[in-house]
């Protein structure tokens, strides 16, 4: 973009990155008291949160308005094309008098007014232009006289004051990098990063550089000056297309704001410290503060601390991002699940859905937007903690249900502390009793049983399907005694002797094999009474033959609840790969029934895999990706960029996932919405929760501690003792 700016008529470009305080709307009170405390503790981190906006102010020279219009049309077209990756929009003043506040805030006058009036943030309208621009923009009084030697600027609107100092970049260090400005913009302070660029005429630069090269031996320059000038000439001439560059006048400042002089100075100190770590040299503007402040506006052509930089160096200092504030609404609720901070310190409105709520013009109801997700990350990367926290916040939505297919008790603490039901197959005294054959006789249950018997019987042909049809007729025969509706009895009764179906179904009726799972005297699997249910699948998921029919039955029961109640539901399946890979029939059923029909039932499935290759290894990776439009990429420092080659990640996103970038954030995740192409790196450091962090702790030590607390105090009274750490030393 910078290399072609001059020939597209651009005289000057000013880039502003405004980081200003933002307030987020407080969520409603959580219906679960403990999780309400978690919600309050988490949202305390947003008491002082910021939003980042990036603006480019383009200036050009013209003889008259007509010529200016033509030049601007060309310059804007060029800028939008070269910056299309960042979703650039042109700020325009509203053309109607009854403009909404939203329209006014997105006009050029509102942007300029924010520079002039950082307290009031006026949103003037330029319709009819009855006032001079200077009067439209100024709502705050600015004072440069007091403390001028110290360079502090004071703004006042009659009710409150705001203070600012200007930090100038005297030297960007030996090597410019996006890391410099990214580090600064990541600071939790109010600021404006202001960078001014004036493109040079490449032809004139080449002439001047050749003169400088000829004079270099006679000047007091470095011994390598001639070679350095030759390198620059090569880049300007474009002889090396991979290393092409142009020269520009460049200046950069950081305007740091504070509510008090002390706060302003503290913020300034953090900027100096952050830049010093990158090798840059900074200075607080004193006598130049006033000139620097006025240089923000196009009429001012005098830029203090001007440098001559190559376009590659200027581009490295321009840390640009496509704005992504998340999704505010879904067909679950007209608000976010929760807010999560990005690594830049901005609030991200988190949703499982890939797109916001969309009203159908035909029905007047919400369209079924995709809410299925993938979570990809190795063991210990934080998948379970992230999912359980998001589930906890989602439970604030009335009637929403959460089902967690758990492994190694990772979700047990969360479920039990939150008052949910945690079901297990391993505790003989409290194990689940299941019997699909004792379901009510409904068309949906008959369809499921036909599919389920084909799964456990490994049906292959029409003969097998015929046996299954006869079996279902027998199962729902009103004359059949209830006690005979078991696989143990019916496998010999309804399936042909010596046939494939009897041979394959028989182990499911044998107590020494799989008979303890689906031969209950009753079906005690109740997924309707509680809104939060955890299912300990450690044993089930360890057996590739056992997992598909168990999960298929659970998913059917969940679907039945959704159909009966209309309630939205969140379903998390830990370690999905073994389940998907074990049976082609189950995989087809799961994708076609579970995922595709789940969207219509307002369900969200979260499928967890340890590596991206594990998704493709299932053989249905493309289908899974098609259904799961939101992907959580957790860091895997043992992975390589090639592992993510087919996932459409940018170079910066891959650098994060493989652990090369953002190392200063030990707990982070990349969230990518494939339907819109938007992504964000979120800071999921939950340590701010304090003792409530133990609710989401999935480690074996915490689980043992929680169980000891339950043994002593019971299911209803154990939480305070567990959270206070009463059993921590004992468990250790």
Mean pLDDT of 470-496: 90
Instruction: Say which residue, 604 or 367, is predicted with more confidence.
Output: 604
Q: Are residues 178 and 82 in the same domain?
A: yes
Q: Is there a contact between 589 and 451 (Cβ–Cβ < 8 Å)? A: yes
Least confidently predicted of 64-73, 147-156, 313-322, 325-334: 147-156
429 pLDDT tier (thresholds 50, 70, 90)? very low
Q: Are residues 441 and 487 in the same domain?
A: yes
What's the pLDDT at 731? 47
What's the pLDDT at 591? 78
Q: What's the number of CA atoms in the CB half-sphere (13 Å) around residue 692?
A: 18
732 pLDDT tier (thresholds 50, 70, 90)? very low
Q: Is there a contact between 602 and 569 (Cβ–Cβ < 8 Å)? A: yes
Encoding tokens for residue 622? 């493309």
Q: What's the number of CA atoms in the CB half-sphere (13 Å) around residue 198?
A: 13
Determine, yes or no, domain membership for 686.
Answer: no
What's the pLDDT at 210? 82
3-state secondary structure 661-718: CCCCCCCEEEEEECCCCEEEEEECCHHHHHHHHHHHCCCHHHHHHHHHHHHHHCCCCC
Tokens 């299954």 appear where?
468
Instruction: Look at residue 218 and tell me whether its pLDDT is greater than 70.
Output: no
What's the pLDDT at 74? 93
Determine, yes or no, domain membership for 60.
Answer: yes
What's the pLDDT at 278? 75
Mean pLDDT of 323-332: 90
Q: Is the pTM of this model over 0.75?
A: yes
Least confidently predicted of 208-217, 365-374, 522-531: 208-217
Q: How many CB atoms lie within 10 A of CB 427?
A: 10
Q: Are residues 75 and 162 in the same domain?
A: yes
What gap in Å lies between CA 30 and CA 27, rounded to an integer? Answer: 8
What's the pLDDT at 222? 64
Q: How many CB atoms lie within 10 A of CB 717?
A: 11
603 pLDDT tier (thresholds 50, 70, 90)? very high
Question: Domain end: 286, 318, 350, which one?
Answer: 318
What gap in Å lies between CA 147 and CA 289, rounded to an integer? Answer: 11
Encoding tokens for residue 63? 């003889």
What gap in Å lies between CA 732 and CA 726, rounded to an integer? Answer: 11
Angle at 15 between CA 11 and CA 18, to 5 degrees: 155
Q: Are residues 627 and 711 in the same domain?
A: no
What per-residue string of b and e applies to 455-465 under the rule 16 or more CB within 10 Å gives b? Answer: bbbebeeeebe
Q: Are residues 390 and 531 in the same domain?
A: yes
Determine, yes or no, domain membership for 266.
Answer: yes
* CB-based contacts of 79, cutoff 8 Å, min separation 6: 1, 10, 56, 58, 88
Distances (CA, A) of 510 to 437, 507, 669: 16, 5, 45
What gap in Å lies between CA 507 and CA 499, rounded to an integer? Answer: 14
199 pLDDT tier (thresholds 50, 70, 90)? very high
What gap in Å lies between CA 425 and CA 428, rounded to an integer? Answer: 7
Instruction: Say which residue, 126 or 285, is predicted with more confidence.
Output: 285
Domain count, the chain: 6
Residue 682 φ then ψ, to 5°:
-105, 140
The one-character DSSP state at 590 is I
What gap in Å lies between CA 314 and CA 318, rounded to an integer? Answer: 7
Mean pLDDT of 24-53: 93
Instruction: Say which residue, 446 or 493, is predicted with more confidence.
Output: 446
Residue 198 φ then ψ, to 5°:
-125, 105
**pLDDT of 447-464, one tens digit each?**
999 999 999 999 989 999
**pLDDT of 693-706, one tens digit each?**
999 998 889 999 99
Determine, yes or no, domain membership for 344.
Answer: no
Tokens 């770590």 appear where?
277
DSSP codes, 320-342: ------B----SS-SS-SEEEEB
What's the pLDDT at 214? 79
Longest dimension (CA), the chain: 111
Range of the domain at 180: 1-23+49-90+140-200+248-318
- What CATH number is attached to the domain comprising 557? 3.40.50.300
Q: Are residues 427 and 307 in the same domain?
A: no
- Where does 491-600 show beta strands of DSSP type E? 532-536, 569-573
Burial grade of 52 (CB within 10 A; 0-12, 13-18, 19 or more): buried
Work out whether strand 373-376 and strand 630-634 pair parallel, antiparallel, or are unpaired. parallel
Encoding tokens for residue 702? 């915490």
Question: Domain end: 674, 690, 722, which one?
Answer: 674
What gap in Å lies between CA 607 and CA 94, rounded to an integer? Answer: 46
Q: Are residues 536 and 667 in the same domain?
A: yes
Encoding tokens for residue 60? 């050009």
3-state secondary structure (DSSP) of residue 402: strand
Q: Are residues 123 and 207 in the same domain?
A: no
Determine, yes or no, domain membership for 12.
Answer: yes
Encoding tokens for residue 322? 């496509």
* CB-based contacts of 690, cutoff 8 Å, min separation 6: 41
3-state secondary structure (DSSP) of residue 196: strand
Q: Are residues 656 and 598 in the same domain?
A: yes
The candidate with the shortest Cα–Cα distance to 608, out of 381, 336, 324, is: 381
Determine, yes or no, domain membership for 336.
Answer: no
Determine, yes or no, domain membership for 34.
Answer: no
Determine, yes or no, domain membership for 618.
Answer: yes
Q: Are residues 500 and 647 in the same domain?
A: no
Instruction: Look at residue 428 and tell me whether its pLDDT is greater than 60.
Output: no
High-pLDDT (> 90) share of the chain, %: 53
Q: How many CB atoms lie within 10 A of CB 690?
A: 12
Instruction: Look at residue 175 and tell me whether its pLDDT is greater than 80.
Output: no
Mean pLDDT of the chain: 88
**pLDDT of 400-420, one tens digit each?**
999 999 988 999 999 999 999
Q: Is there a contact between 627 and 596 (Cβ–Cβ < 8 Å)? A: yes
147 pLDDT tier (thresholds 50, 70, 90)? low
Q: Are residues 162 and 102 in the same domain?
A: no
Q: Are residues 144 and 122 in the same domain?
A: no
């Amino acid at each position: 973009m910078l290399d072609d700016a001059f020939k597209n008529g651009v005289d000057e470009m000013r880039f502003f990155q405004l980081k200003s305080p933002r307030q987020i709307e407080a969520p409603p009170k959580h219906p679960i008291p403990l999780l309400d405390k978690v919600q309050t503790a988490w949202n305390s981190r947003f008491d002082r949160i910021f939003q980042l906006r990036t603006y480019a102010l383009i200036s050009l020279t013209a003889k008259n308005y007509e010529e200016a219009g033509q030049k601007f049309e060309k310059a804007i077209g060029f800028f939008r094309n070269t910056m299309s990756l960042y979703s650039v929009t042109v700020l325009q003043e509203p053309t109607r008098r009854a403009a909404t506040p939203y329209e006014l805030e997105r006009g050029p006058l509102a942007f300029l007014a924010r520079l002039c009036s950082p307290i009031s943030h006026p949103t003037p309208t330029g319709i009819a232009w009855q006032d001079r621009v200077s009067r439209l923009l100024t709502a705050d009084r600015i004072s440069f006289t007091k403390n001028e030697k110290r360079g502090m600027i004071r703004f006042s609107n009659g009710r409150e004051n705001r203070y600012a100092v200007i930090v100038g970049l005297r030297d960007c260090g030996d090597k410019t990098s996006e890391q410099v400005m990214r580090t600064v913009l990541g600071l939790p302070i109010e600021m404006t990063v202001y960078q001014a660029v004036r493109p040079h005429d490449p032809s004139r630069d080449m002439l001047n550089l050749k003169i400088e090269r000829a004079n270099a031996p006679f000047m007091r320059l470095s011994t390598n000056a001639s070679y350095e000038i030759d390198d620059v000439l090569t880049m300007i001439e474009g002889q090396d297309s991979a290393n092409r560059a142009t020269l520009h006048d460049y200046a950069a400042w950081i305007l740091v704001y504070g509510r008090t002089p002390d706060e302003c100075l503290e913020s300034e100190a953090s900027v100096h410290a952050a830049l010093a770590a990158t090798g840059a040299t900074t200075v607080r503007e004193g006598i130049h503060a006033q000139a620097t402040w006025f240089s923000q506006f196009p009429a001012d052509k005098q830029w203090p601390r001007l440098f001559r930089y190559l376009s590659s160096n200027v581009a490295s200092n321009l840390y640009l991002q496509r704005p992504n504030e998340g999704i505010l609404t879904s067909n679950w609720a007209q608000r976010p699940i929760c807010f999560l901070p990005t690594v830049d310190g901005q609030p991200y409105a988190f949703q499982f859905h890939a797109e916001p709520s969309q009203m159908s013009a035909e029905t007047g109801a919400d369209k079924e937007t995709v809410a299925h997700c993938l979570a990809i990350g190795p063991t210990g990367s934080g998948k379970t903690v992230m999912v359980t926290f998001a589930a906890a916040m989602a439970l604030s939505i009335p009637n929403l249900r959460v089902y967690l297919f758990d492994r190694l008790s990772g979700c047990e603490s969360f479920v039990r502390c939150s008052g949910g039901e945690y079901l297990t197959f391993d505790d003989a005294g409290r194990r689940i009793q299941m019997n699909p054959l004792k379901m009510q006789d409904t068309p949906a249950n008959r369809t499921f049983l036909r599919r389920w018997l084909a799964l456990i019987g490994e049906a292959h042909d029409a003969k097998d399907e015929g046996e299954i049809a006869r079996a279902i007729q027998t199962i729902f025969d009103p004359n059949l005694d209830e006690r005979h509706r078991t696989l143990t009895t019916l496998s010999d009764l309804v399936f042909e002797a010596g046939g494939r179906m009897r041979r394959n179904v028989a182990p499911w009726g044998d107590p020494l094999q799989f008979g303890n799972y689906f031969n209950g005297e009753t079906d005690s699997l109740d997924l309707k009474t509680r809104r939060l249910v955890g299912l300990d699948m450690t044993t089930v998921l360890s057996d590739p033959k056992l997992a598909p029919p168990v999960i298929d039955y659970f998913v059917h029961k969940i679907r039945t609840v959704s159909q009966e109640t209309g309630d939205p539901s969140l379903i998390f399946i830990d370690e999905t790969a073994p389940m998907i890979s074990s049976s082609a029939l189950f995989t087809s059923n799961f994708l076609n029934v579970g995922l595709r029909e789940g969207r219509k039932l307002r369900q969200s499935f979260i499928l967890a895999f340890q590596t991206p290759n594990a998704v493709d290894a299932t053989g249905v990776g493309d289908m899974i990706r098609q259904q799961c439009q939101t992907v959580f990429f957790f860091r895997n420092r043992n992975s390589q960029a090639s592992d993510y080659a087919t996932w459409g990640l940018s170079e910066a996103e891959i650098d994060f996932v493989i652990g090369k970038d953002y190392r200063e954030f030990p707990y982070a995740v990349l969230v990518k919405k494939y339907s819109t192409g938007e992504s964000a790196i979120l800071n999921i450091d939950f340590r701010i929760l304090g003792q409530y962090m133990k609710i989401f702790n999935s480690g074996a030590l915490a689980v043992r501690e929680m169980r000891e607390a339950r043994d002593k105090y019971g299911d209803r009274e154990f939480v305070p003792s567990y959270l206070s750490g009463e059993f921590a030393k004992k468990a250790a």
